[in-house]
Amino acid sequence: MIVTETTLKDCYLIEPTVLGDDRGYFFESFNNEKFYNQTGIQVQIVQENQSLSKKGVLRGMHFQIGEAAQSKIVRVLNGEVLDVVIDIRRSSPTFGQHHKEILSEANKKQIYVPRGFAHGFLILSEQAEFFYCIDRPYSPANESGIIYNDPHFNIDWGVDQKVILSERDKNWPLFAEKHNYFE
Mean predicted confidence (pLDDT) in 41-70: 96
Whole-number percent of the chain with pLDDT over 90: 93
- Nearest to residue 79, comparing CAs of 120, 127, 34, 45? 127
pLDDT at 9: 97
From residue 81, alpha-carbon distances to 1, 13, 69, 115, 131 in Å are 21, 15, 24, 21, 12
Which domains, ranges and CATH numbers included, belong to the chain? 43-177 (2.60.120.10)
pLDDT tens digit sequence for 84-117: 999 999 999 999 999 999 999 999 999 999 999 9
pLDDT at 76: 98
- Compute φ and ψ for 158, nearest 5 degrees: 75, 25
- How many residues would you count in the chain? 183
Give yes or no for residue 127 having a pLDDT over 90. Answer: yes
Mean predicted confidence (pLDDT) in 124-130: 97
Which residues have a Cβ under 8 Å from the Cβ of 45 and sit 6 or more positions away? 73, 133, 134, 135
- Nearest to residue 89, comparing CAs of 130, 117, 52, 129? 117
Tell me the torsion sign for CA atoms 145, 148, 154, 158: positive
Q: With cut-offs at 50, 70 and 90, classify the pLDDT of residue 161.
A: confident
Give yes or no for residue 168 having a pLDDT over 80. Answer: yes
pLDDT at 177: 86
Active-site residues, by number, are 62, 132
What is the reported pTM? 0.94
- Compute φ and ψ for 74, nearest 5 degrees: -120, 150
Q: Give the chain's mean pLDDT.
A: 94
Give yes or no for residue 179 having a pLDDT over 70. Answer: no
Whole-number percent of the chain with pLDDT over 70: 99
Is the CB of residue 42 less than 8 Å from the CB of residue 129? no
Strands (E), the chain: 2-5, 12-15, 18-21, 24-27, 47-54, 58-64, 72-78, 80-87, 98-104, 110-113, 117-123, 127-134, 143-145
